[in-house]
């Protein structure tokens, strides 16, 4: 074992154990339009050492958050954070530090580069950097190329507090780095010359920047949810229309455009989206409907035998960076499969299954990845860390299915496909997979497409985040992610609400960071940084990964496909009832909604066409109805994450609501409405069971003993308007 000596270049107390330091605390000392001064304070942690050819090497990859990825060069820790910068111009960077600690006779392991998940552990290769008598990487700090996120322009600061000379075997640590960024008028890349009135960038992405300052007097009540665009073939329009109607009702202005009108090539789609975004700056969600042959994915080309198919490409509308302005999702399948996806999404958002299934999760992981995973973690260690986070922030149970015998709730030996099926059937709202995979399966547990179809998780649909190779390889294949969304069993909907899968052989470490960030965001209620939509969770996870891995993360962003509706609001807690009061002043036409729920989301629509949206501010939402809309049927829809849905109607100048209780029911229900209507009972596959007329302004008890146990749809029709509600019958 080689000996290690330490020189105290500055006056410091003696350290008896070899330590390394990694960034923990960030202080913004100045933050103006002319300059930013940031101080990075570090904590000390013990080195980890590994043995190679009888020499003990310091292996930073196991304890450091991330190490440099130049293959064959010393693997040294670095730290990165993103800052907001002016819309135009460049900058100058100055770095200072408090002290230098120097360690002599140190051997550092080289980086293995960016490792694919189909790789096995490779022996260390010492590259050209080890023959140079100079410190690597040479700079204490640098700024990345600027990037654009809607109306925001950012840049990532990377700090390299460790500098290593492989010839002299001297390791230097620069303690407490201060970075001074001065903005200049020199031209630079990705400049922002026009800023839209939309503030969606600040709402969705501001948490990415350490120097973000909330703007005063910028009120996000209107256009809070952003708009959605659906692109599909003409033949799919009727199947996707119920989802479009619902989105307009809940306050997401949603438009359908057909691929026939746009053009059937990826270039035509991108050109159309660029123009659409310019004239519709509140566009936030993009849903592609159909398989690759219906609405083509974009190809970046073939690299090492893998064709890089990408949907995220369509959301990158500003700058030449990988940061997407839109949250892009896809319903990939046939007409009937898309119909299944629409019904599942409507059920998930409007009438979720009763129970605590959304507070339960599954974690599946391999026993590989030591030193090459994100934070140097083995896959199962990564999954267990996420499990701890979930349990600490409200989840009631998280299954552990890990290769080997890892203690805790992980059973001995490797998990099986039947273990996963059983856990799915118990009801879960989240499934994280980290391990090896292929087009049709998870290698850990040998869980295949066919196993998804065996599950009976009716009504409990997880969000599936797969860090694995090829699970999203949908071009010319029926990949696993597609099966998650098309799944039915016994003609009832099962599967997942959304699934994220890679279209190529996936990188090992970077996507683990995305997965970590998604869990942090959906659990991070104490900080006030909340992401609700599935697309928001996934994309902000990707942005965090890009901040950490930079260009090494580009391939992950390009090829990780999001299957599902990106605007769907994620459920993580027991469903609660919305408590509100609605008042309508028939003189001023002013609608007032009062609720104790913070930031209750309100949508106002007419004949399934969007009118306006907003949030309750100080528990109140106000809207003056235009006079020319007074005699139409207007729907007011109230929603909030982890709540049910409340809808009221204005018909012929009168305010009405429709209530059914109890739900679930046994042999009878009570119906209340302020207006005459026609009520129909349907099975989930669309067969009518009974139809009856109802006279309004009264409570009416109805016998439903003729209904078998199960879930039904009740359709209420009045004034040409149809409203669907779910009814669960239990015996």
* pLDDT tens digits for range 134-145: 999 999 999 999
pLDDT band, residue 458 (cuts 50/70/90): very high
pLDDT of residue 58: 84
pLDDT of residue 10: 32
* pLDDT surpasses 60 at 45: no
With a pLDDT cut of 70, the percent of the chain lying above it is 89
Kindly state the average pLDDT of the residues 656-679: 79
Active-site residue (options: 232, 436, 479, 500): 436
Kindly state the average pLDDT of the residues 3-7: 37
* pLDDT surpasses 70 at 14: no
Q: Where are the alpha helices (DSSP H) in 137-236?
A: 200-205
- For residues 581 and 254, which has the higher predicted lDDT (pLDDT)? 254
* pLDDT surpasses 50 at 334: yes
Active-site residue (options: 469, 479, 500, 677): 469
pLDDT band, residue 196 (cuts 50/70/90): low
With a pLDDT cut of 90, the percent of the chain lying above it is 61
* pLDDT surpasses 60 at 333: yes
pLDDT of residue 581: 87
Kindly state the average pLDDT of the residues 603-607: 90
Return the structure tokens found at 590. 């002013």
CA dihedral of 11, 13, 14, 20, whole degrees rounded to 10? -90
**Which residue, 87, 274, 282, 276, is CA-closest to 195?**
87
Lowest pLDDT segment from 21-30, 234-243, 385-394, 484-493: 21-30
Kindly state the average pLDDT of the residues 160-172: 94
Active site residue 232: no
Q: What pTM did the predictor assign?
A: 0.86
pLDDT band, residue 701 (cuts 50/70/90): confident
| Distance (Å, whole) CA 245 – CA 260 | 22
| Distance (Å, whole) CA 554 – CA 49 | 31
| Distance (Å, whole) CA 203 – CA 207 | 8
* pLDDT surpasses 60 at 221: no
- For residues 165 and 628, which has the higher predicted lDDT (pLDDT)? 165
Average pLDDT, whole number, for the chain? 87
pLDDT band, residue 49 (cuts 50/70/90): low
E-strand ranges in 366-473 read 397-402, 430-434, 437-438, 441-442, 447-448, 463-467
What three-state secondary structure class fits 32? Answer: coil
| Distance (Å, whole) CA 5 – CA 402 | 41
pLDDT of residue 201: 74
**Which residue, 556, 549, 452, is CA-closest to 504?**
556
Lowest pLDDT segment from 115-119, 463-467, 690-694, 697-701: 697-701
Kindly state the average pLDDT of the residues 663-673: 83
Active site residue 382: no
Lowest pLDDT segment from 191-195, 529-533, 539-543, 674-678: 529-533
**Which residue, 580, 671, 588, is CA-closest to 625?**
588
């Amino acid at each position: 074992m080689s000996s290690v000596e330490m020189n105290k270049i500055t006056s410091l107390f003696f350290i008896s154990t070899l330590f390394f330091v990694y960034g923990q605390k960030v202080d913004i000392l100045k933050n103006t339009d002319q300059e930013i001064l940031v101080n990075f304070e570090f904590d000390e942690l013990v080195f980890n050492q590994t043995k190679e050819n009888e020499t003990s090497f310091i292996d930073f990859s196991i304890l450091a958050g991330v190490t440099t990825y130049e293959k064959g060069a010393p693997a040294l820790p670095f730290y990165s954070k993103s800052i907001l910068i002016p819309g135009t111009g460049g900058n100058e960077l100055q770095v200072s530090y408090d002290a230098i600690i120097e360690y002599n006779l140190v051997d550092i392991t080289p980086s293995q580069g960016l490792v694919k998940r189909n790789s096995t552990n490779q022996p260390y290769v010492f590259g050209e950097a080890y023959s140079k008598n100079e410190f690597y990487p040479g700079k204490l700090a640098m700024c990345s190329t600027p990037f654009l996120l809607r109306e925001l322009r950012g840049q990532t600061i990377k700090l390299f507090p460790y500098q290593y000379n492989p010839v002299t075997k001297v390791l230097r640590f620069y303690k407490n780095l201060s970075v001074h960024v001065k903005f200049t008028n020199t031209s630079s890349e990705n400049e922002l010359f026009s800023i839209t009135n939309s503030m969606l960038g600040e709402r969705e992405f501001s948490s990415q920047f350490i120097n973000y300052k909330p703007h005063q007097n910028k009120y996000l009540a209107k256009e809070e949810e952003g708009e959605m665009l659906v692109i599909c073939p003409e033949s799919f329009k009727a199947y996707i229309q119920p989802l479009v109607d619902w989105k307009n009702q809940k306050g997401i202005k949603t438009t359908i455009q057909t691929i026939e009108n746009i053009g059937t090539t990826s270039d035509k789609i991108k050109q159309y989206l660029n123009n659409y975004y310019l004239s519709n700056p509140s566009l936030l969600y993009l849903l592609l409907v159909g398989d690759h042959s219906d609405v083509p994915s974009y190809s970046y080309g073939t690299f090492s035998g893998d064709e890089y198919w990408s949907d995220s490409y369509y959301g990158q509308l500003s700058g030449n960076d990988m940061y997407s302005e839109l949250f892009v999702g896809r319903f990939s399948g046939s007409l009937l499969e898309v119909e299944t996806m629409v019904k599942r999404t409507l059920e998930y958002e409007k009438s979720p299954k009763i129970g605590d299934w959304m507070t339960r999760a599954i974690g599946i992981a391999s026993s590989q990845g030591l030193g090459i995973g994100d934070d140097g973690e083995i896959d199962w260690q990564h999954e267990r860390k996420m499990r701890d986070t979930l349990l600490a922030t409200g989840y009631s149970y998280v299954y552990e299915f890990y290769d080997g015998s890892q203690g805790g709730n992980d059973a001995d030996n490797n998990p099986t496909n039947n273990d996963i099926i059983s856990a799915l059937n118990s009801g879960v709202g989240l499934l994280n997979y980290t391990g090896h995979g292929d087009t049709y399966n998870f290698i850990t547990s040998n869980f295949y497409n066919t196993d998804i179809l065996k599950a009976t998780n009716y009504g409990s649909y997880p969000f599936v985040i797969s860090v694995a190779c090829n699970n999203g390889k949908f071009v010319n294949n029926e990949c696993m992610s597609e099966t998650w969304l098309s799944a039915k069993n016994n003609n009832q909907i099962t599967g997942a609400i959304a699934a994220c899968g890679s279209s190529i052989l996936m990188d090992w470490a970077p996507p683990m960071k995305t997965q970590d960030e998604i869990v942090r965001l959906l659990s991070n209620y104490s900080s006030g940084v909340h992401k609700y939509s599935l697309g928001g969770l996934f994309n902000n996870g990707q942005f965090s990964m890009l901040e950490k891995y930079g260009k090494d993360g580009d391939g992950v962003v390009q090829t990780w496909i999001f299957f599902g509706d990106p605007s769907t609001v994620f459920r993580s807690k027991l469903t609660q009832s919305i408590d509100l009061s609605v008042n309508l002043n028939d003189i001023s036409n002013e609608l007032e909604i009062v609720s104790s729920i913070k930031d209750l989301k309100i949508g106002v629509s007419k004949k399934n066409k969007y009118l306006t949206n907003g949030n309750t501010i100080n528990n109140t939402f106000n809207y003056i109805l235009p006079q020319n809309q007074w005699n139409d049927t207007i729907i007011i829809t109230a929603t909030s994450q982890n709540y049910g849905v409340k809808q009221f109607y204005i018909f012929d100048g009168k305010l009405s609501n429709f209530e059914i209780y109890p739900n679930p029911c046994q042999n009878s229900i009570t119906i209340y409405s302020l207006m005459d209507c026609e009520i129909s009972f349907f099975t989930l596959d669309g067969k009518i069971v009974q139809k009856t007329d109802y006279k309004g302004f009264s409570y009416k008890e109805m016998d439903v003993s003729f209904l078998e146990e199960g879930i039904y749809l009740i359709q209420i029709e009045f004034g040409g308007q149809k409203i669907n509600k779910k009814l669960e019958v239990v015996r």
